[in-house]
Each structure stands twice: as structure tokens, then as C-alpha cells.
């Protein structure tokens, strides 16, 4: 099926691999990047709950690939950086076990760790949160939807009418980080888990709401339909059965990002400009949500666990600043301002050179000294530097 659909990047969740055989996955045109669970339950016959990424080799020719984080079970963070432009994107491959599972996480800890990773890489051009969250967002009291200041987000149609606590936590998390799911916003939608016990939507692809317009297509294809279309029936053994989770396929247009990034010689609208935040109106939810607080506490714990050195402190401080600035970008109003060098010191003047710059600095120091002595009533002889 993977070869039939010919996707550039394939995210796999709930793999049944361990550290001994996790690299046994072999596809001719793909590279495999796994993150398997270290241990298995005493009653489990095989390992499960791992995640991984299949990347087409042609993509690796165009992008530098980096594994950013594998420290948390069920979470793989990867980054792609173009080798010819400034374009970059980050993929978070996630798996959260069902409620009541022996492997179920404290979901607040999981989402807290995830939000710290999202904030650390929020400046990337595109971010994708992909995976099986075992969270359902329907319910008789109305569906759970992401809330934004903007009112022009494409409406999401809910087909799963059941709600659970993991769904509530997941959609609260999405609202906090200003993400939205693609499920239910395109025509070819369907249940993502279809089994004898019923149908549900528990697998999602989520992106920042301001990246939604870059999504060209999103489809949910049930497993049996994908097997029939790709003629993969012969690959199902006697002791095997088709998966109950569907394929989620999304297509994004990145040509606009590439065009902007490749024009390195052209003046950009905000090149050399910085953001000035309006601190007169700070919303109540700024830095005041459970997910951000959990991520901050995790950063503090990591700092306390580090071996004290200037380098480790610098790294931890940078991560904290990145998280705080990302929070400010999402919650505070801002505009762009120029921080120009003073005209007198601009080296773009044809007659200005480094020697004049040094002489100017000497003159400023002499002027400060003269002003200080004049106020105190003393006299100071100022010799000419030339």
C-alpha cells in the first residue's frame, strides 16, 4: 500500500517492533526512522506502541533530516531543512494508548512534553502533529472544537458523536497552542478506526490554524478499501488480519514557502525588523494554562537534572526564551518596528570607513568626560586624538 500511494513521508504508529528488530523494516525507495518502546508488558506476546517515519530517499536528497527528540515513549520529533532554501518543517509522530491501558500515560505529562517541543520549534515554516491519540471529540453536549480569535477557520463536521477524557484533553491542548485538526474539514472524510466494536475518530493530523490554507487535500481511507485498491490481499497471511485503523493522507502546497525562502537576495518585508509587543492588554490565558504550565515545569526539572555548566545553562535558557516568545506570539498583539543604526554611524555613506568610526567613538568619550567635568566645576584638558 505504501508503494501504491507513493507518499513522500509516511508516519506509522503502534508498531510491533523492539530495539532488536526495529530496523528490519525495508522499503526500496524509503529510509526508516523508528522509535520503539523499550519494554513490553509481562502479559504481552510482542512489543507494541512504537512509532516511526518512512521518508522517501528523494526527499532526503532535497532536505537535511534531524531527529530532535526520542526521550518520551510514543513521541518522535523530526525536522526537515531544505538544502537549497530556508524552508523547514517539523513532524511530531504521536501515539497515546487507550484509557485504561497498562501503558496509558498521564496525558497531562505527555501533552506537556509535546507542547514544550512545539514551542521550541514554532518558528518553523510548517508543523504537523500526526498520530493516534485515542481521543474522541463528539458528545451529546456538542462537539469539541478548537477555539480561536479568528472566525474564518474552515468549519469541521463531526461524524463521531462520542466524547472521552483523552479527547477533551487533546482538544484543549490544540486550542492552547492554536492548532486545528484536518479531520472533518475536507470532503473525503471517514472514521479513522473501524472494527467489530464500532467506528470512531481517534487518529488526527493537526496543523497551526494559519497553515490550514496550505493544505491542498486531506483524505481518510479505510484499511479494507486501501487493501482492495492496492491489490494487497495476497499479503495478508492466514494468522494475520487487516488493520482496523484507516489511512490518513494529506497533501500540502509548499511552493509559496520555497519561493519566499529562495529569494535571499531580494528585500523581505520584515528583514531587519523586530516585533514590538503590546503589553497594555495581556489576556488572562497568557502563560496560564495547564499544558504550558506542565511544559514549563518539565523544563525546570530538566534544568535541575543537568550537569551544571555554562553550556547547559545557555541551552536551557534559550529553550525557555523560545517557549516564552512563542507564547507571546500567540497571545499578545504586536507590530514590526525598525531598529536602525544611528545615521551618524552608518557605514553606508561613501565617505565613512572604520577609521572614522573609531574617531567618532573617541570623540563621544571625550564629550562625556567634558560634560562631567563641566557639571562638577572642574577643568579638563582634552587632547586631540589626531
Count of domains for the chain = 3
> Which residues lie below 8 Å from residue 272, measured CB to CB, with a gap of 6+?
338, 339
Return d(Cα 150, Cα 180) in angstroms, integer: 12
- 47 pLDDT above the threshold of 60: no
Question: What global pTM score does this model have?
Answer: 0.65
Grid cell locating 98: 487507550
| Residue 216 forms part of a structural domain | yes
pLDDT recorded at residue 26: 73
Contact 308, 302 (CB under 8 A): no
Residue 268 lies in a domain: no
Q: Distance (Å, rounded) from C-alpha 260 to C-alpha 264?
A: 8
What distance in Å separates the CA atoms of residue 349 and residue 351, rounded to the nearest whole number? 6
- Do 123 and 183 lie in one domain? The reply is yes
Q: Which residue has the higher pLDDT, 141 or 304?
A: 304
The verdict on residue 162 lying in a domain is yes
Of 50, 165, 162, 51, nearest to 106 (Cα)? 165
Identify the bridge partners of residue 95 per DSSP, sorted by sequence position: 132
124 and 158 inside one domain: yes
Kindly give, in sequence order, each residue whose CB lies less than 8 Å from that of residue 230, ignoring residues fewer than 6 positions away.
1, 4, 5
Is 385 a member of any domain?
no
Among 239, 262, 285, residue at a domain's last position? 262
Contact between residue 52 and residue 12 where contact means Cβ atoms under 8 Å apart: yes
Q: How confident is the model at residue 227 (pLDDT cuts 50, 70, 90)?
A: confident
- Assess whether 332 and 357 both reside in one domain: no
Q: Report strand pairing: 126-132 vs 88-95.
A: parallel
pLDDT, tens digit, 9 for 90 and up, residues 316-374? 777 778 778 888 887 888 776 544 434 433 444 455 567 777 787 787 677 777 766 65
Query: Is 269 a domain residue?
Result: no
Contacts 24+ apart (CB under 8 A), 364-370: none
Percent of the chain past pLDDT 70, that is, above it, reads 74
Angle, helix 310-331 to helix 107-120, in steps of 10 degrees? 90
Instruction: Dump pLDDT digits (tens) for 263-319.
Output: 333 333 444 456 777 777 788 878 887 777 777 787 777 777 766 677 777 777 777
Tell me, yes or no, whether 297 and 163 share the same domain.
no
Residue 288 in any domain: the answer is: yes
Mean pLDDT for the chain overall: 77
- How far apart CA 136 and CA 245 sit, in angstroms, is 14
- Do 65 and 124 fall into the same domain? yes
Burial class (CB in 10 A: 0-12, 13-18, 19+), 118: buried
Identify the top-confidence range among 33-42, 131-140, 272-281. Answer: 131-140
**296/301 Cα distance (integer angstroms):** 9
Same domain, 191 and 297: no
CB 17 within 8 A of CB 34: yes
Indicate whether 251 and 295 sit together in one domain: no
For residue 351, CA distances in Å to 100, 170, 347, 348 come to: 75, 61, 8, 8
Q: Which long-range contacts (C-beta less than 8 Å, at least 24 apart) are formed by 122-126?
A: 122/322, 122/326, 122/329, 123/322, 123/326, 124/79, 124/88, 124/89, 124/90, 125/87, 125/88, 125/89, 125/254, 125/257, 125/261, 126/89, 126/90, 126/207, 126/211, 126/214, 126/252, 126/254, 126/257
CATH code for position 148: 3.60.10.10
Mean pLDDT of 140-153: 52
Strands 88-95 and 247-252: unpaired
Task: Answer yes or no: do 245 and 222 share one domain.
Answer: yes
Same domain for 215 and 185: yes
Looking at the structure, do residues 210 and 288 belong to the same domain, yes or no?
no
- Lowest-pLDDT choice from 56-65, 127-136, 147-156: 147-156
Asked if residue 236 belongs to a domain, the reply is: yes
Q: Domain end: 229, 262, 295, which one?
A: 262
Q: Domain boundary residue among 236, 262, 288?
A: 262
Task: Specify whether 23 is located in the same domain as 46.
Answer: yes
- Alpha-carbon gap, residue 230 to 296, rounded angstroms: 46
Does residue 305 sit in the same domain as residue 229? no
- Give the residue carrying C-alpha cell 562625556: 368
- Flag whether 384 is in a domain: no
Q: How many CB atoms lie within 10 A of CB 14?
A: 16
Q: What is the mean pLDDT of residues 155-183?
A: 89
Cell of 309: 555548566
CB of 323 closer than 8 Å to CB of 116: yes
Helix-helix angle 310-331:290-305, to 10 degrees: 170
Give the residue numbers spanning the domain of 59: 2-262
Phi-psi group of 235: left, alpha or beta (phi > 0 → left; psi -120 to 50 → alpha; rest → beta): alpha
Long-range Cβ contacts of 357-362 (<8 Å, 24+ apart): 359/385, 359/386
Amino acid at each position: 500500500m505504501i508503494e501504491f500511494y507513493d507518499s513522500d513521508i509516511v508516519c506509522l504508529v503502534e508498531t510491533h517492533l523492539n530495539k532488536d528488530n526495529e530496523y528490519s523494516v525495508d522499503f526500496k525507495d524509503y529510509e526508516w526512522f523508528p522509535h520503539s518502546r523499550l519494554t513490553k508488558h509481562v502479559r504481552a506476546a510482542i512489543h507494541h506502541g512504537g512509532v516511526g517515519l518512512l521518508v522517501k530517499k528523494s526527499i532526503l536528497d532535497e532536505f537535511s533530516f534531524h531527529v530532535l527528540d526520542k526521550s518520551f515513549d510514543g513521541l518522535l520529533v523530526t525536522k526537515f531543512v531544505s538544502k537549497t532554501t530556508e524552508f523547514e518543517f517539523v513532524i511530531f509522530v504521536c501515539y497515546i494508548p487507550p484509557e485504561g491501558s497498562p501503558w496509558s500515560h498521564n496525558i497531562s505529562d505527555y501533552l506537556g512534553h509535546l507542547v514544550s517541543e512545539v514551542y521550541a520549534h514554532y518558528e518553523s515554516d510548517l508543523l504537523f502533529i500526526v498520530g493516534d491519540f485515542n481521543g474522541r471529540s463528539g458528545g451529546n453536549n456538542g462537539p469539541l472544537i478548537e477555539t480561536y480569535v479568528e472566525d474564518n477557520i474552515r468549519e469541521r463536521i463531526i461524524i463521531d458523536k462520542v466524547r472521552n477524557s483523552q479527547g477533551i484533553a487533546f482538544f484543549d491542548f490544540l486550542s492552547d497552542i492554536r492548532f486545528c485538526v484536518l479531520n472533518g474539514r475536507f470532503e473525503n472524510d471517514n472514521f479513522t478506526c473501524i472494527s467489530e466494536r464500532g467506528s470512531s475518530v481517534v487518529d488526527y493530523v493537526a496543523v497551526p490554524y494559519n497553515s490550514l490554507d496550505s493544505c491542498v487535500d486531506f483524505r481518510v481511507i479505510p484499511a479494507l478499501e486501501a487493501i482492495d485498491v492496492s491489490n494487497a490481499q495476497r499479503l495478508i497471511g492466514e494468522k494475520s488480519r487487516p488493520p482496523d485503523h484507516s489511512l490518513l493522507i494529506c497533501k500540502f502546497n509548499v511552493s509559496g514557502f520555497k519561493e519566499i525562502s529562495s529569494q535571499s537576495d531580494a528585500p523581505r518585508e520584515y528583514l531587519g525588523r523586530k516585533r514590538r509587543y503590546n503589553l497594555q492588554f495581556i489576556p488572562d490565558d497568557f502563560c496560564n494554562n495547564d499544558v504550558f504550565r506542565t511544559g514549563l515545569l518539565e523544563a525546570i526539572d530538566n534544568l535541575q537534572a543537568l550537569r551544571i555548566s555554562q553550556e547547559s545553562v545557555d541551552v536551557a535558557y534559550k529553550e525557555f526564551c523560545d517557549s516564552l516568545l512563542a507564547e507571546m506570539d500567540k497571545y499578545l498583539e504586536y507590530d514590526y518596528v525598525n531598529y536602525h543604526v544611528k545615521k551618524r554611524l552608518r557605514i553606508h555613506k561613501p565617505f565613512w570607513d572604520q577609521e572614522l568610526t573609531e574617531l567618532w567613538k573617541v570623540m563621544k568619550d571625550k564629550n562625556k568626560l567634558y560634560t562631567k567635568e563641566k557639571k562638577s566645576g572642574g577643568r579638563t584638558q582634552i587632547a586631540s586624538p589626531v
